[in-house]
Amino acid sequence: MHPEIADVVRRALEEDIGPGDVTSEACIPADRQASGEFIAREPQVIAGVELLPLIYDRCKVHKQPGDQVAAGDVIAQVHGSARALLSRERVALNFLQRLSGIATLAAQYVDRVAGTGCRVLDTRKTTPGLRRLEKMAAAAGGVTNHRMGLYDAILIKNNHIEAAGGVRAALEAARSSSKLPIEIEVRTRQELTEALDAGATHLLLDNFAPPEAAALVQLIAGRATVEISGGVTLDNVRAYAQSGANFVSSGAITHSARAVDISFRLKWNML
Q: Looking at the annotation, which residues are catalytic?
A: 90, 125, 157, 185, 206
Alpha-helix runs per DSSP H in 156-265: 158-164, 167-177, 189-197, 210-220, 237-241, 252-255
Give the end-to-end CA distance of the chain in Å, rounded to a whole number. 29
SS3 131: helix
Which phi-psi region, left, alpha or beta, contains residue 204 (left: φ > 0; alpha: ψ -120 to 50)?
beta
Computed from CA positions of residues 118, 124, 125, 130, in that sequence, does the dihedral angle turn out positive or negative? positive
Instruction: Please give the angle made by the CA atoms of 160, 242 and 215, to the nearest 5 degrees.
Output: 60
DSSP character for 53?
A: H
Q: Where are the beta strands (DSSP E) in the chain?
A: 33-40, 44-45, 58-61, 68-69, 74-81, 119-121, 154-156, 182-186, 202-206, 225-229, 247-249, 262-267
Using CB atoms within 10 A of its CB, is residue 185 exposed (0-12), middle (13-18) or buried (19+)? buried
